[in-house]
Structures are given as structure tokens and as C-alpha cells.
Chain A
């Protein structure tokens, strides 16, 4: 891991997990972690272990559901999938994120007054 990789903002990991499950359907923890790394072009710094805290939290909020199943190469793994409530939450949080990033960009790109 190099210095140049991005540190995740508090709470954004949950959003990424929700989005990943939305686009990939049912997936296990390792798969989610890999997918986030790949789609971010390996830009995001992620201790894969931290993904599980996020998964527990989302599960307790009933935004995702979990079930033990079998992977492609016949390995037992726990599969997570988005629930209805999770889909709604994803839409809400995506909107929030977009608003937040627009605002922050606007503030940062404001011309310097001398």
C-alpha cells in the first residue's frame, strides 16, 4: 500500500458496500472487498477485514441479508444481498453523497479573492 491511495471517509464504506451489492447481486465478503478495490482502480485503501464491521452494521439495520452458500469453486461462503430497505437506503445515500460532493467541489473551486 502506498501513500498515494485514498483513505475512506467515515461511513462511505457502507455506501460502497450497498452499491456493490446492488450492481453484483448476491456476493461474499471477499468478493465485495475485491470488487471495491477493482472498481476504484485500486485507488482505495482498504483493510479487507474492516468490510466485515460494515457488513454487520448493515445487516443489523436490515439493509442487507446474509446466507451461507457455496462459491463457484465449491467453497462454503457467506453471501450477502441487498434488501428492499437497502435499495431505498442506497438511493437516499447516493443522493446525499452527490449533493455533498457537489457542494464541497463548489466550495473548493471558488475563486480566490485577493
Chain B
């Protein structure tokens, strides 16, 4: 065993001492021949004969040199090194070809690596927690196709009491809070959670400790834990942070620990972790928006038995909810279930988008490969002379094939290395502009898995390119070429068929990508085209959430009044409104059963409640349809009233005149005094794929909540307006931060950022594909024309006009494009339905998109064919014929 290892080592080392060892052996060989010659002379031969005999006995000097080298070194590797050197020389001789291949592959592979790294980080890679497959996210679902709803407090308490299979259960409730650190007031993402979350995840504190329970079960609410990123960015990773005081929603809290960075894989948004206080939540029966319910299963717990227990508990609990909530829900269809934390991190919707992107970049890679194969094939054809000479000089097919593979590997790997560098850039961009698209993870980075993926992709590409080449070259009769250099027409034909077929495939795939991008663009245009129902221009808004110092209604009224008066004094503020909600402020829905009409029981209407003041309608520029808007007289002491949006009427009172009707389900049964136009809302479009939410407006004086949204219509620039608002708020209460500030146009635009990100990515992939296939058509036709110079010149000589020659070449290009289009349309027909949920008021088979995209692709194909066609028409018959 040892001897073999030593031998291998010796063989490897000898590769690096080739020259030295060769010289050494030559000397030894010479000395051998000399000694043998001398012996032969002594035996009585003449010197010439003696040397001849010595050489005969030696048995072939070159052969023994070869044998010596092969025994001494690693022949395969040395051959590959030689082939590589040869390939490198060839590449530098034809830099255009090499660059074309490398750039094409760098683009395709770079995009693939970048998208893969996102997909991997979000979906494929196991989470960095101990036994992460035991961590589950718990949900309930009503009926077959209804959405998964995260568990709630009563469920949490119920399971903790009744299900033993969970070693730990935790509630997780992200929220915003007014945080005062030192003398700076900021609005931050924080999370209220039960102490078990750290046991569920199985993590230990980086600094300090985690929450410990008091005897009463709850953790005292004056302790907080910082996340690693927040500790690092805000406190500059201060090691003395434990014991500092931070004020959250008016309550002073002590920092007791810092969570490790892995924690942010679970939640990358929250900056501060706060103990949840269950008692007041249970008493107030509050819903927790955006909450999660997670647990760790005991080792060996069976998922099916646990879900069965959970479902039984859920169905029991259903009997206790208010009757109107039961409408439209079948008790027996209620299901409780769990997903692994890994899969629950990414909503199905986003998952679909990521797979869509990964699929599209793979298509782009396919198209790039076709171009590279075509480039290699046309070069292989040009090299047939050279290869034929090498074969006739004794190179075996094996050696030639090896040479071809070495070349394709060399170029693809170079391209991939560049691609990885490019992926760095792409990932940087993705990190910046898709912060909203991918909110649930750490920033993406390049890791070993991504590099491995790239290596696999690159190797596959190299193999495919190599196989096509070897098939083409070794399939043709090379020896016949030595006899009859390069003019073999039949050989050209098989190549033309092959590359023609590849170009058709390329066009088909490009069309599919373009249609995907087109559908997204059409959806985006539809969204942009919706009249928002109010005028977003010159409208600037900011959000204030009143903290613990505003428990009394009177305190909140007072604050509102002070702020309103000081804002109205500012010159250039044409109109100011301080309301409780505003479009695009991500409000929560409430459910109400509609009044029974006839005998039909209708499902509950989910509507938004907006508290608005007198100037709301004027500032927002929402049209009043019927009745009247609120006046200063609609206050606490007057009769409860409300105004509703048209959409509410459509869903709630479809058949009746709503004016003057009371909404009995509301506290005080307010009377409807007016109807206004519908307005758009973020959640409606993005989550429910509908245009308008039903809205009920209440006078702010009858329904003053904790949230105040200041909206100002002003021609002054948004940052200036916001600075002024901030100054005025500070004058009234320096502990109140502003949140969600900006012009309404930028808020609307931000609400579309996810859709825009997906659209832009898909569009850029489709754009790359389009360019690549244009190059593909051009390359194949140009090569074709160059091969057919002879034939074309004869056509010219016997009277073909320039036009006829141009149309001949164009026809060839268009014929391929046509077939490709047809195949692509059929493919898109089947594939586009997977995109249905990403589209907004566009059918997956959208005639407009299909037609426009086909026309675009055809136009590009004509353009790409025209250049070689023009070249063909310029062939001078006399010159070409003479050159033969």
C-alpha cells in the first residue's frame, strides 16, 4: 500500500520536473548505447555495425522514451495539460470566438447562480437550528381551499394544556413600537413572544441571558433582548449593553441579553424581542395580526397523531365562537395542521415566484448553451482541415475527442468563473431592491452550496457542448476530408440541420420567456391603470402611534387638536387631515354579517373601518356620491353616524337604498349619512387580487383610535413637508416618532415593489434570451452564407437579383423563426397557467400579450436575418468564382 502511494507521489512530482528528467534519461540512454557499442566492438564488430546492433537490442529509442515517460508520470493528466495548452493557443488566436462563448456563459451562469442562491437560502438549505426538522409552524384551515391561518392565543393555551407531543410551544407576534433610546425616539419592528421561543429554536444567548419565567407564568414585561444585527448596528456591538434601559411604548425596559445571529433566520425583521403579556390579551380577546405559532415536537412524535389531536381540539373550540363567524364554515372541515418551519418560512405564493424565476434562468441557460454549441459547431467545421491533418498524422479519435472536451471545459469553466463574479453583483442588487420581496431571511451571500451548484451547471454545459461537437466531428468521415478539402456539401448539410434545429428550439424557449414577462407587464400596467379613487399627487403622509401616555380619550383628543391647529398654520399646506387610517396603511379587516335579505344567509363582509375628520374628503379628493360628509357637529355627544364607500354598499346592501340605514352590528348602530367613491388599498390588491376594499368611515371624534395619520396636500417637496410635520409633533410630544412617511405616490410605488421586482427580473431574463437568440439566428445564417458563397455567386452569375438573394436568406431565417414561434406558443399555452396567481386581471392566455410578443420576436428574427442576407447579396460573382 505504502509503495503505491509513494509511486503516485513520485508520478505527480515528476510532472513538474519533466525537462530535467527527460535530459537525465537521454544521458542514461546515450551511456547505455555507448557501453553496448563498445562491448560489440570488443566482440569483433566494426563500429557502424556495433552501434546498429546495440540500437536493435535496445529496441526503439523513442518508444522507450515514451514508455519511460508514461511509467514515470501521469499520462492522462499530462495529455490534458498539453491539450489545454493547445486549446489556450487556439483561443488567443481567435479571441472573438472565445469571448463570445465566455460572455454568453458568464451571463447565463451568473444569473443561474444568483437565483439559485436565493432559492437555496429560502427553501432548500436546512435551517441552522438544532434538529430543525422537529420545529413546526402550526395553522388551522377552514375547508378545502381556504388559506392557512396561524394559530391564536386560545389555541396556544389549549395545546399547551392538552397535547404532550410538543416539548415546547411559543407564540410569536411581530409589531411596531415607539422606542426611546437615550433621547432619540424611533419607530421599530419589535416582537412580543413567549419565553419558550428560544427552547423551540434551540438557541443560546450570545450575551447575557434569555427570559426567565416568574412564578405566575408570565415573564415580567420590563425585560428585552436585542437581536444581533440591531445590537451591532445601533449599539456598535457594545459588550457592556446588558443592563441598559430602553423605553418601549412608554415603558422602561432593561436589556438582559443579545440573541445570536442565527435567530434572524427565523425572523429578520424584528429588532427587539419583548416578552408577550398573555393576561391582557386574553381578557381583551384581541386578534394578533401577523402572529406565528411555532412548536418543537418531541423526538419520535408522529405528525399524523398530533394533527389528529389538534384537529379534534379545534372542532371542539369551534362550538364556542360567535354564531355569525360560523357562517360559511363547515365544522367538520376544520383542520389543524403543521408545516416544517423551513417550508412555512416561504409562502406558497413567493415559492411559486422563486420557482418561476429559477425556471426562467434555466431556460436562459438553455438558450445560451444553444448559442455556444452553434459557435463550437461552426468552428469545428472550419477546423475540419486541421483535424483531418491531425488524424492522418496518427492522432486517434480518442485524442481528438479529448481535445474537443478539453476546449469546451476550458471555456465553460472560464465563463462560469466570470459568472460567479457576476452573481456577486446580481446578489448585491437583489439584496437592495428586493428587501420587500424576500423579507424573511438574512441577506443572501455566496456560499459553498452555490459554488457547487455552479460547478455542476458548468460541467453539464461543458459535457453537452463537448458531446454535440464530438458527435458532429467523429460522426463525419474525416479521412474523406483529407482527400477532398472542406467542400463536402453533404457534411455541411447535417451540420446545418443540427444548428437549424437548435435555433428553432431557442426561439421557442425565448417566446415562452417573453410571454411570461409580457403577462407580468400587462398585469403591472393593469394595476397602474386603476384609478385609486383619490388623488395621490402632492399628497404626503406620516403615521403616528400614540403610546402609553394616551390612555384617556381626552388625552388623545387633546393631542390631535394641538397638532391639527399647528399644522394648519404652516404656509403651503393647502389642506390637512388627521385621520385614523388611510389608503395603503395596511389596515386590518373586521368581519360583519350583512343584514338578512329575503331568506338567503350571506357570508360575512370583511370591511375596513377608517376614522376620518372633516377635511378628509377634501384633502384626499375623494368624490361624494350621495348624502353628506361629516361636519364639526358629528362629535362624541351627537348621534353616531357613518359614511360608507360604494364597494361596501355593493357587498352589504346590494339591493336597497343605504342612506339613512343604521349598521346595527356596530356599537351605537350608526346611521349611514353618505356614500363616497371607493378607494384602492394595498392589502386588497396584493393579497386578495381584487381592486377595492369595502370601507366604513366613522367621524374621528366618535372613534378616535391610537393611530393618527397626518395627510397633507402641498406642492412643497415631500422631505420638507415631513420635516415640518416632525417638528410640529416634537413640539407637542418629543417622545413620539413618525412612521411610514413619504409622498403617497412613493408609498403606492413601494407597495408594488415585490411585483415590480419579479417583473423586472423576468423581463431582464427574457431580454437576455431575446438577445441571445438574435445572436443565434444571426450566427447560423451568417455561417451558412459564408459556406454557400460559391453557390450564391453562381446564382448571382446566372442572373439572381440582389432582392432575390436577400429574400432567399431571409426566408431561411423566417422559416426557422416561424416554427420556433409555433412551438413556443404551444409551450406557453401549457406553461403560462402556472403563473395565473401572479397575474392581475389578465388571463394566462392573453391574446394581446401573445400577439405582441410574437410580433416582437418575429421582428427581431427579421433583423437578425437581414444582416447576413445583405452580406450574401453583396457577394461579387466574379470574385467568388475566381477564388475557387
A interface vs B, CB < 8 Å?
28-31, 33-34, 47-50, 52-53, 56-57, 59-63, 71, 73, 75-78, 85, 89
Which residue of chain A is the closest to B4 with respect to CB atoms? A61
Given A29-B28, A56-B72: A61 and B6 within 8 A (CB)?
yes
Given A49-B67, A73-B38: A63 and B3 within 8 A (CB)?
yes
Between B6, B28, B39, the greatest number of chain A beta carbons within 10 A of the residue's beta carbon is seen for B28
Asked if A75 and B59 sit within 8 Å, CB to CB, the answer is no
Asked if A60 and B58 sit within 8 Å, CB to CB, the answer is no
In the bound assembly, the distance between CA atoms of A33 and B57 in angstroms comes to 10
Asked if B71 and A53 sit within 8 Å, CB to CB, the answer is yes
**Counting CB contacts under 8 A, is B11 at the interface?**
yes
Asked if B71 and A56 sit within 8 Å, CB to CB, the answer is yes
Asked if B3 and A56 sit within 8 Å, CB to CB, the answer is no
- B11 / chain A contacts, CB cutoff of 8 Å: 60
Asked if B67 and A30 sit within 8 Å, CB to CB, the answer is no
| Other contacts beyond A47-B59, A78-B28: 6, CB < 8 A | A47-B57, A47-B60, A48-B59, A49-B61, A57-B7, A61-B10
In the bound assembly, the distance between CA atoms of A80 and B249 in angstroms comes to 89
* B interface size (C-beta, 8 A): 32
**Counting CB contacts under 8 A, is B632 at the interface?**
no
Which residue of chain A is the closest to B61 with respect to CB atoms? A49
In the bound assembly, the distance between CA atoms of A47 and B61 in angstroms comes to 10
Asked if B38 and A50 sit within 8 Å, CB to CB, the answer is no
- A31 / chain B contacts, CB cutoff of 8 Å: 35
In the bound assembly, the distance between CA atoms of A50 and B7 in angstroms comes to 18
Given A57-B7, A75-B35: A49 and B28 within 8 A (CB)?
no
Which residue of chain A is the closest to B62 with respect to CB atoms? A49
In the bound assembly, the distance between CA atoms of A108 and B396 in angstroms comes to 42
Asked if A49 and B58 sit within 8 Å, CB to CB, the answer is yes
- B58 / chain A contacts, CB cutoff of 8 Å: 47-49
Between B10, B32, B38, the greatest number of chain A beta carbons within 10 A of the residue's beta carbon is seen for B32
Which residue of chain A is the closest to B31 with respect to CB atoms? A77
Chain B, residues 440-465, CB within 8 Å of chain A (1/0): the string is 00000000000000000000000000
**Counting CB contacts under 8 A, is B34 at the interface?**
yes
How many residue pairs link A and B with beta carbons under 8 A? The number is 81
In the bound assembly, the distance between CA atoms of A47 and B25 in angstroms comes to 16
Q: How far is the CB of A11 from chain B (nearest CB, A)?
A: 13
Which residue of chain A is the closest to B28 with respect to CB atoms? A78
Asked if A50 and B67 sit within 8 Å, CB to CB, the answer is yes
Asked if B10 and A53 sit within 8 Å, CB to CB, the answer is no
Which residue of chain B is the closest to A60 with respect to CB atoms? B10
Given A52-B28, A62-B6, A77-B28: A57 and B71 within 8 A (CB)?
yes
**Counting CB contacts under 8 A, is B437 at the interface?**
no
Given A73-B38, A76-B31: A59 and B60 within 8 A (CB)?
no
Contact of A76 among B7, B27, B61, B64 (CB under 8 A): B27
- B6 / chain A contacts, CB cutoff of 8 Å: 60-62
Chain B, residues 731-753, CB within 8 Å of chain A (1/0): the string is 00000000000000000000000
**Counting CB contacts under 8 A, is B527 at the interface?**
no
Q: How far is the CB of A13 from chain B (nearest CB, A)?
A: 12
**7 closest A-B pairs by CB:** A49-B64, A47-B59, A60-B10, A61-B3, A53-B71, A60-B7, A30-B32
- B67 / chain A contacts, CB cutoff of 8 Å: 49-50, 52-53
Contact of A52 among B9, B57, B64 (CB under 8 A): B64
Q: How far is the CB of B71 from chain A (nearest CB, A)?
A: 4
Given A50-B67, A52-B25: A60 and B72 within 8 A (CB)?
yes
In the bound assembly, the distance between CA atoms of A30 and B89 in angstroms comes to 41
Asked if A78 and B31 sit within 8 Å, CB to CB, the answer is yes
In the bound assembly, the distance between CA atoms of A71 and B61 in angstroms comes to 22
Asked if A62 and B3 sit within 8 Å, CB to CB, the answer is yes
- A71 / chain B contacts, CB cutoff of 8 Å: 35
Asked if A53 and B68 sit within 8 Å, CB to CB, the answer is yes
In the bound assembly, the distance between CA atoms of A85 and B58 in angstroms comes to 29
- B35 / chain A contacts, CB cutoff of 8 Å: 28, 30-31, 71, 75, 77
Q: Could you write out 13 A-B pairs with CB less than 8 Å apart?
A: A30-B31, A47-B58, A47-B59, A48-B32, A48-B36, A49-B59, A52-B64, A52-B68, A53-B67, A56-B71, A61-B3, A76-B27, A76-B31
- B3 / chain A contacts, CB cutoff of 8 Å: 61-63, 85, 89
Asked if A75 and B31 sit within 8 Å, CB to CB, the answer is yes
**Which residues of B, 36-70, contact A by the 8 Å Cβ criterion?**
36, 38-39, 57-61, 63-64, 67-68, 70
In the bound assembly, the distance between CA atoms of A56 and B4 in angstroms comes to 13
